[in-house]
Structure 1
Amino acid sequence: MASLAESSVAPPDKVVPTGLRRQALYLLLGFSAGLPFYMFSTVLTLRLQAHEIGIVVIGFFAWVQLLPTFKFLWAPLLDRYLVPGFGRFWGKRRGWIMLAQLGIFTSMASMAFVSPGDSLPITALFAVLLAFWTTTLEVAADAWRIELAPTQAEQGPVAAANLWGYRTAMVAAGSGALLVADQPDWGWTGAYLAIAAAAFVPFPMLVAMRPDPEGHGNRAGSLAAGLVASVVILLAVTAVTAAIGWVLLGAASGMGISGQTNVTPYVLALCMVPFLIMAAALPKIRNLPPSAPARRSIAIGPYVEFFWRYGFMALALMAFVSIYRMGDVLALNLSKPMIRGLGYSLSEIGRADSYVALVASMTGVALGGWMAARWRQSWALTVGAIFAAIGNFGFVWLAHQPPVEATLYLATALDQFGNGMAGTIFVVYLSLLVDPRHPGAQYAFLSGFAFLLPRLLSGSGGAMVESFNAAGYNGFDIFFVISGVASLAAILFLPLISRARPRPRDDEAEA
């Protein structure tokens, strides 16, 4: 990675689209990030189920989605360095986006030719790589978005456009992959190859864009240099990921964790660790002077600065963001296996995830963007949480209805509308918590932490369902009731966090 350091103080991109051009750009970037997401989450769970992988192990695969939670570990690199070739010509943000798209394409194409029934660890490796490169694309795009639209009024339309693209792509990937997989001549291999090809479409469009005003070299030479550097980086990341996975699997085996293990108690204990660490460190952080190494550090400085500015209110903020999207995340991993178990075919699920999900999701995103730009944040967040909960309760209702396709459409519409609305409002809220001096790193930290607790619990979702079933209850019913109540629980934090005000920065205090 040392070769990335072509500029230790790489400036932000100077290409600043405005108005409709800016929204069109983020429609495209959202589409790029949304296509692969379902392929390592919802679609993957159905593929595992088709290969008769147990529900507990399917639940474990939700931990692949934990990777975006830890994006703060490498997000400072994206704020600091250029990608060789790509970055020098197209700018820092677009350079990282182009590298990430290559990683997405190669990871998804590799998953196409690996059968989970024959090699579950290799499937997990490529799923993790797909999640890593998808997350890297999001980090670069989010940082650029915050730079281009620093105010609440500007963030609403841009965030909505980004989520329109993101959710359109999720619908295209989810429904398209299932419809292709249900065809005997294509199957799961054809489904993953088709989505990989679609995910690669934005790459040549970015190549054709005008260079950064401060860029160097020519287009062809920069493209060639970027491709060579990308191959090296992709291979290095694959090797490191495989090594880490080998160590983790060995450790889990040594601890006796298997597909029959109830990991929920361990997960709940682990969820408390970040809050204990933050509470212990806050008193010292609050007293750090501007010259303190921790505040000036490239690696941890942006995160220390967040806690320095918000003090103990940061604990309330972190608790709120870790609960707000809880219901959506818990439902994501197990909703499709439950629906499949009710007797719906892959094609029926695919049709529900196409037009119905698209219209409902886009409506929710549009309304959420409008609310986020015009309403008080606390009111917008409250309404978003309520509709997200309704979407989760809809799965409980669906489970007790005859398997009629129209019924599936209604449950899907409720879920996607609530997710779209709550997601847009939440993106704007997180963006406004960020210090403009550290947009990429701090947004990565906040948005990643927001999904740490939900994704940890989601990984034990299969074990929860099995435990409820063993106790004589309907496991899926209780699971989705819990997920809906979790969304509503976030409302309890709003009277407190609505009073959160950041401490003036050092330069502001001096002024």
Structure 2
Amino acid sequence: MTDAGVAAPPAVRPGLGRQALYLLLGFSAGLPFYMFSTILSLRLQAHGVGLVVIGFFAWVQLLPTFKFLWAPLLDRYDVPGFSRFWGKRRGWIMLSQLGIFASMATMGLTASDDSLPITALFAVLLAFWTTTLEVAADAWRIELAPNAEEQGPIAAANLWGYRTAMVAAGSGALLIADQPGWGWTAAYLGIAAAAFAAFPLLVALPREPGRDGRRSIALVAGLVVSLIILLAAVAVTAAIGWLLLGAASGLGIGAKSNVTPYVLAACMLPFLIMAAALPKIRTLPPTSRARRSAAIGPYVDFFWRYGTMALALLAFVSIYRMGDVLALNLSKPMIKQLGYSLTEIGRADSYVALIASIAGVGLGGWMAARWPQARALPIGAAFAALGNFGFVWLAHQPVSEGLLYVATAADQFGNGMAGTVFVVYLSLLVNPRYPGAQYAFLSGFAFLLPRLLSGAGGSIVERFDQAGYRGFDIFFLLSGVLSLAALLFLPVIARARPRPSDEAAP
């Protein structure tokens, strides 16, 4: 009930209302992403940080891969204060937006990179809060649109917002940073302010049906609780980082280390663990503690439903987005090395990337809604691979801003198309009883292998360079070929069908 005693209006109107909401949420999540990935790589390069260390910073992007560790908390618990009026999903989104603003602003105030551990700390926090926003938004999206016909338009709107924001952040940050007297501090503070613009819009939305709090009281209480949570997150992240750095030092891993063998071993470990656990999981009764657990039950449920086919599904999703993830961290340093200025890169990442991305996302959303997945998935993978091959082509051309536009457009169009098809595919794999946790697990695992390899990308390029080859050429050729390798799994995963439910409790 509202304060006037009448029924509360729905928080989100069907149709265009939902699409507008997810355009906004995609924009909120997309703005910070480039700031702890591509833009951070260029910033570190400008401050003389070596390519291998820049590659290590790509492991900040691994954090979204492990979002399954805290995703069940978002399904189970409310954010005190905010959720009293705005509901569980919006409460987590609002907390995440505050975390994004605080982390990015601090990165701006420490933009000299005099202390790389401080840079890493707040890059990790920015990645954490960005990921938390995505987990809450994805869970809400799956609840609002449980079938492919409804998912296609909402997923497209979400990715339109996301990629528009990535373009705005990427081009805007570079154009600001390249202005005399402004630099990286102004770039990060400017994007932080833009990312926060969605917060008051969410505050203004109607009360969540079934909630009985007052807007003003919920807002004040939520802000106080959020401050406590944000400070605790800084302390915990700093402690974990200190332990990890100590462990790496103890293993002798440093800026000159060849980390590729460690990375490949880490990539194999999750598959080995899951393969060993599958026979036991398949025999678990509905009353078993593992299936009823709030912490691991959603993930056990996925393997219980799909059995050995779960391994093929996870292998497929691990490879499908390989090309664009590997390109993300090193494409801009490579382009800068070719002789392009930050302003030229920023212009390419503005209207050229935006138009190409919108076209790719739109076509991908249409394909996902109208075509069988077995047809849409391979087309998306092929166009994504072409984007990687475009960087190799660019490296062998004379420096020309027009040619940079061509390579950028090919990359953004292919990634937009593949990304939209992929989001819908993952959404249809989840059990609607565990939308947040299972989508977090699948989308996180999908990027585990690519992001692990991306962190070793600088080392791989340098090794090829030392062997007398063009390291960037080999790197981008391999990443494109790996994306196409996902097509080999299509005949297998096309037969994937979930096991009928036995009514196990959530």
With the shorter chain as reference, the TM-score category is over 0.9
Which structure 1 segments of 5+ residues have no match?
1-12
1:16 Cα deviation from its structure 2 partner: 4.2
1:99 aligns with one of 95, 98, 105: 95
2:94 counterpart letter in structure 1: M
Unaligned runs of 5+ in 2: 1-8
Aligned to 1:419: 415
Q: Which residue of 2 aligns with 1:481?
A: 477
- Structure 2 letter corresponding to 1:458: S
Letter in 1 for 2:437: A
| Number of residue pairs matched by the alignment | 496
Whether 1:142 aligns to 2:138 is yes
Which amino acid is 1:47 matched to? R
- Using structure 2 for the length normalisation, give the TM-score: 0.97
1 CA distance for matches of 2:339 and 2:157?
Answer: 35
CA offsets per residue over residues 403-423 of structure 1, 9 Å max, x none? 100000000000000000000
Q: Which moves more between the two structures, 167-176 or 210-219?
A: 210-219
Are 1:265 and 2:261 an aligned pair? yes
Deviations 1:367-423 (A, max 9, x none): 000000111101100000000000000000000111100000000000000000000
Structure 1 counterpart of 2:96, one-letter code: A
Q: Are residue 341 (structure 1) and residue 337 (structure 2) matched? A: yes
2:427 aligned with 1:431: yes
Q: For 1:281, give the aligned amino acid.
A: A
Equivalent position to 1:317, from 313, 320, 338? 313
**Secondary structure of the structure 1 residue equivalent to 2:397:** coil
**TM superposition shift of 1:214:** 1.6
Q: CA RMSD in A?
A: 1.0
Amino acid at match of 1:264: T
Q: What is the one-letter code of the residue matched to 1:168? A: T
1:370-389 paired onto structure 2 within 5 Å: 370-389=366-385
Residue 176 (structure 2) aligned to one of 171, 177, 180: 180
Q: Which residue of structure 1 lines up, in the alignment, with residue 460 of structure 2?
A: 464
CA distance in 1, matches of 2:130, 2:105: 14
Paired position in structure 2 for 1:295: 291
Displacement, 1:185?
Answer: 1.8
The one of 223, 227, 238 aligned to 2:223 = 227
What secondary structure does 2:280 align onto?
helix
Q: Deviations over 1:165-187 (max 9, x none)?
A: 00000000000000000011210
The answer to whether the 8 A contact 1:48-1:116 is kept is no
- The answer to whether 1:252 aligns with 2:263 is no
Aligned to 2:6: none
- Deviations 1:469-497, CA, capped at 9 Å, x for gaps: 00000000000000000110000000000
Q: String of CA shifts for 1:300-346, please: whole Å, max 9, x gaps.
A: 00000000000000000000000000111001000000000000000
Q: Could you give the per-residue CA deviations for residues 422-467 of structure 1, whole angstroms, max 9, x where no partner exists? A: 0000000000000000000000000000000000000000000000
Q: In the TM superposition, what is the alpha-carbon distance from 1:280 to its structure 2 partner?
A: 0.2
In structure 2, how many angstroms separate the alpha carbons of the residues matched to 1:28 and 1:283? 43
- Does structure 1 residue 203 correspond to structure 2 residue 196? no
Compared with structure 1, are the counterparts of its residues 116 and 269 closer, same or farther at alpha carbon in structure 2 (3 Å cutoff)?
farther
Q: Give the whole-Å Cα distance in 2 for the aligned partners of 1:216 and 1:247.
A: 44
- Structure 1 match to 2:44: 48
Q: Corresponding residue for 2:5?
A: none
In the TM superposition, structure 1's runs of 4+ consecutive aligned residues that sit over 6 Å from their partners are: none
Correspondence for 2:439: 443
- Give the TM-score normalised by structure 1: 0.96
> Which one-letter code corresponds to 2:228 in the other structure?
V
Instruction: Work out the CA distance in 1 between the residues paired with 2:263 and 2:100.
Output: 29
Equivalent residue number for residue 362 of structure 1: 358
Structure-1 residue corresponding to 2:346: 350
Alignment correspondent of 1:10: none
**Alpha-carbon distance in 2 for matches of 1:422, 1:448:** 16
2:492 to 493, 496, 505: 496
CA contact 1:323–1:453 (8 Å) conserved in 2: yes
Identity %: 79
